[in-house]
Amino acid sequence: MADFTGASTGGVSTIVTDHAALISACAAGEKQALKTLMKAEGGRMLGVARRMLRRSDLAEDAVQDALVLVWRRAHQFDASRGSAKGWLYTILRNRCLTMLRQEDREVATEADQIEATSQEAVLTAAFDGLETTTGLRQCLERLDGATRQAILSSYVLGHSHGEIAGRLDAPLGTIKARVRRGLLKLRECLS
């Protein structure tokens, strides 16, 4: 998935990215570790940011910001509390969400108009991209279409309750309740 080759033995290259070790090395001030992390995850991070921010320039900014934050916060990372990759993507997603919520409405609206149709396609691609064996996919499949759409568009596109309500042309309270019921069903299904 990435062009970072962790080790190469006897012509067999093993692609291993030890995210936790790289983050620890960042905490120790090793810039090369951040560069390795960027090479391993940067492309995927850019894809995640692009889906949410819909503009490549903003997505690049978000990934840059996230990696600088990873560097600065590396000492806070605690491997006993969660996965390193999760930590990395949480930083990225939070950065994207902040940018989305701060984004000039005019620009956002314009981008919405340009890409309104493709957002459905993005959601479909995200859902189809989930391996059929994952619990998330199996459980999302059991939800009704609108609820699944709402949950996916919050995570994948970074949409707020308000934006989801707008897109589905439903009252805000209805959407909030629907998402909550959907999340409850998902948890029950996954447990």
Partner 1 sequence: MTDRSLDTLIDEVVLGLASDADIARVEALADSDPEVAKRLEQARQTFAPLDDTAEVLPLPEGFWERIDARLEASEAGGTVIPLAEARARRIPWRSTALGAIAATLLMAVVLGTTLMSERDPLVVAVLLDAGGEPVALIESGVDNTTRVTLLERPDVPADQVMQVWTKPDEDGPPVSLGLLTGGRSRTLTIEGLPAPNSRQLYEITAEPAGGSPTNLPTGPILGVGLAKEPVI
Q: Residue 180, interface with partner 1 (CB under 8 A)?
A: yes
Nearest C-alpha neighbor of 20 from the set 80, 109, 60: 80
Q: Which of 9, 76, 113, 132 binds partner 1 (CB under 8 A)?
A: 76
Residue 161 found at the interface with partner 1 (CB under 8 A) = yes
Strand runs labelled E in the chain? 7-9, 12-14
- DSSP class per residue in 143-182: S-HHHHHHHHHHHHH---HHHHHHHHT--HHHHHHHHHHH
Give the footprint of partner 1 on residues 13-72 (CB under 8 A).
Answer: 31, 34-35, 38, 42-44, 46-48, 50-51, 56, 59-60, 64-65, 67-69, 71-72
Compare residues 6 and 160 and give the one whose CB is closer to partner 1: 160
Nearest residue to 139 via CA among 105, 188, 179, 181: 188
Q: Inter-axis angle of helices 145-157 and 105-129, to 10 degrees?
A: 120
Give the binding site for partner 1 (CB under 8 A): 1-2, 31, 34-35, 38, 42-44, 46-48, 50-51, 56, 59-60, 64-65, 67-69, 71-73, 75-76, 81-83, 85-86, 89-90, 93, 97, 102, 125-131, 134-137, 151-152, 154-156, 158, 160-161, 179-180, 183-184, 186-187, 190
